[in-house]
Every structure is written in C-alpha cells, then in structure tokens.
Amino acid sequence: MELGTHLNEVRQVSDELQLGFLGMGFQPKWRRDEMPWMPKGRYRIMKSYMPGSASSAWT
C-alpha cells in the first residue's frame, strides 16, 4: 500500500511534467554471462525462448 501511494504521487508530478519512468534492473559488477542463474521455471523458459526471438533483451 505504501509503495502504491508513493507511485501515485510520483505519477501525478511526472504527468504534469510530461515525464515517464521505466523500472528496470542494473548490475554494474558482472556481465550477463557471469551472473548466477535464478532457479525458477519461467526463467528457464525465457532463456530458451528469448535468444531466438529477441536477443537484444539478453545483451
């Protein structure tokens, strides 16, 4: 609930300024091929699917 309230407040201000935000992760220490793999089924599916359809998503 607190996060939702905060995001609504940010959205009100950013809408007035015609700004948008993009939530994304960043790991400054490792290259993609050095990062540990998360043991979740959906990530295994994404790993096998993404390189053939959207390789830029993994670079």
pLDDT, tens digit, for every residue of 28-54? 888 878 887 777 777 777 777 776 655
Q: Give CA–CA dist 32/35, Å, rounded.
A: 5
Contact 14, 21 (CB under 8 A): yes
pLDDT at 17: 95
C-alpha distances in Å from residue 48, one per residue of 11, 24, 30, 38? 36, 21, 21, 14
pLDDT, tens digit, for every residue of 10-21? 999 999 999 998
The pTM score is: 0.38
